[in-house]
């Protein structure tokens, strides 16, 4: 079976699966320029922290390829504009800026050297985007392998949102850990939060787990606490959109409630994420920008209004889970344990 990935770079063209249509329809669409990429991210045709970073890297490349070479200074100015534009598509997942910063840095480092022709620069910047994609898949496999150490031989695992192959370059972070345990022959059952209002759990995580043949049940978000209390869940594992210096972690709205419920029920709560999700510029979670999305996404379901006309919903796309609720953070380089204030910085410096 071909490894699932939300995007493809084929013959210098970028294609993504329109995730808004899953699981009913697997439709690949081409994104022709940086504007297409911007709207695909903003409108959630592609979503998930690492995946939006990767697609933005290709968006940057598409933007570069459309430029007319007037001078090196001109190209740098235009690229900075493309970097800012793509970076503004969604605010919370730091992977978006991480990938764009890497692309801009690479392009600028080439543009200051006279020995590179514009065509050479395009080729090298293309390899950088391809590397970002390929590295991400490797990183996820390593996260899976590392996280597997925390999974008992028989486990019922709760997950939230979608942190599987569709949210990254391939394989998945939280789902990568679950896959790795499953591939090793462990007896795994997954409880998949449906994840209102966008239903990433019911639509995407369940779609992926079904393809992988992993036993799972979709549950309503508000069932999680009682299932924990009934002893049906052994551990919780989620992905992350941004982890800051003290371990506070932004992830899909609802993650914080799960973490508190897990603590109350003495169930381990783990976060699985690549190092590209760490934001070492922020000392705690209070400054993480939390995306506010349209009220319509909450009050309209499948084209039908469910709340009285004129009533608005508050729709925060993410929440921030304080570090004290997180028992371990699984990365490609190993597992970080509390106290995070001390251990994250130590870990990041030792992995450089």
Span near ligand MRU by CB under 6 A; candidates 120-128, 237-245, 278-286, 308-316: 237-245
Name the catalytic one among 36, 136, 193, 241. Answer: 241
Q: Is 96 in the site for ligand MRU (CB under 6 A)?
A: no
For residue 120, indicate whether it is catalytic. Answer: no
Q: What is the CA radius of gyration of the chain?
A: 20
Q: Is 240 in the site for ligand MRU (CB under 6 A)?
A: yes
Contact present, 86 and 37 (Cβ < 8 Å): yes
CA 29 to chain centre: 20
CB of 199 to ligand MRU, least distance (A): 10
Q: In the complex, what is the shortest distance from the CB of residue 308 to ligand MRU, in angstroms, rounded to a whole number?
A: 27
| E-assigned strand segments in the chain | 7-10, 13-17, 28-31, 154-159, 187-193, 216-219, 235-238, 242-244, 249-252, 269-272, 278-279, 300-301, 304-305, 318-321, 328-331, 334-336
Per-residue x/- track, 172-191, ligand MRU (CB under 6 A): -x------------------
- Compute the distance between CA of residue 284 and CA of residue 93 in angstroms, rounded to an integer: 15
Query: Given the rule CB under 6 A, which of 10-18, 146-154, 163-171, 325-333 is the region that contacts ligand MRU?
Result: 163-171
Secondary structure letter of residue 310 according to DSSP: T
Q: Is 163 in the site for ligand MRU (CB under 6 A)?
A: yes
- Complex with ligand MRU: residue 110 or 272, whichever CB lies closer: 272
SS3 182: helix
Which residue is at the shortest CB distance from ligand MRU?
A: 239
Of residues 257-316, those binding ligand MRU (CB under 6 A): none
Quickly count: other Cβ atoms within 10 Å of residue 184's Cβ: 13
Tokens of 308: 């009285």
Residues that bind ligand MRU (CB under 6 A): 47-50, 93, 161, 163, 167-168, 173, 200, 238-241, 251-252, 317
Task: Write out the catalytic residue numbers.
Answer: 241
């Amino acid at each position: 079976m071909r490894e699932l990935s939300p995007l493809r770079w084929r013959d210098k063209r970028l294609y993504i699966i329109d995730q808004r249509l899953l699981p009913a329809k697997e439709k690949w669409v081409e994104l022709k320029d940086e504007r297409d990429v911007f709207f695909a991210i903003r409108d959630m045709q592609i979503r998930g922290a690492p995946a939006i970073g990767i697609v933005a890297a290709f968006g940057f490349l598409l933007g570069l390829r459309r430029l007319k070479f007037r001078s090196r200074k001109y190209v740098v100015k235009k690229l900075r504009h493309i970097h800012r534009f793509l970076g503004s598509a969604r605010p919370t997942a730091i992977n978006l800026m991480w990938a764009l910063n890497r692309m801009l840095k690479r392009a600028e480092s080439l543009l200051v050297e006279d020995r590179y022709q514009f065509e050479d620069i395009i080729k090298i910047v293309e390899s950088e985007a391809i590397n970002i994609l390929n590295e991400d898949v490797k990183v996820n496999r390593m996260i899976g392998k590392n996280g597997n150490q925390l999974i008992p031989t028989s486990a019922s695992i709760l997950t939230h949102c979608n942190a599987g192959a569709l949210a990254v370059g391939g394989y998945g972070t939280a789902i990568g850990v679950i896959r790795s345990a499953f591939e090793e022959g462990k007896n795994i059952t997954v409880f998949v939060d449906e994840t209102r209002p966008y239903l990433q759990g019911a639509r995407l995580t369940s779609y992926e787990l079904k393809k992988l043949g992993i036993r799972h049940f979709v549950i309503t978000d508000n069932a999680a606490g009682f299932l924990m209390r009934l002893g049906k869940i052994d551990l919780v594992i989620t992905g992350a959109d941004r982890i800051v210096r003290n371990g506070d972690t932004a992830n899909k709205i609802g993650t914080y409630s799960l973490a508190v419920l897990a603590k109350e029920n003495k169930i381990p709560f783990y976060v699985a994420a690549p190092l590209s999700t760490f934001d070492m510029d922020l000392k705690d979670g209070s400054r993480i920008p939390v995306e506010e999305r349209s009220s319509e996404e909450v009050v309209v379901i499948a084209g039908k209004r469910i709340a009285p006309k004129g009533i608005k919903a508050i729709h925060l796309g993410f929440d921030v889970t304080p570090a004290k609720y997180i028992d371990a953070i699984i990365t490609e380089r190993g597992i970080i344990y509390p106290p995070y204030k001390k251990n994250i910085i130590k870990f990041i410096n030792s992995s450089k």
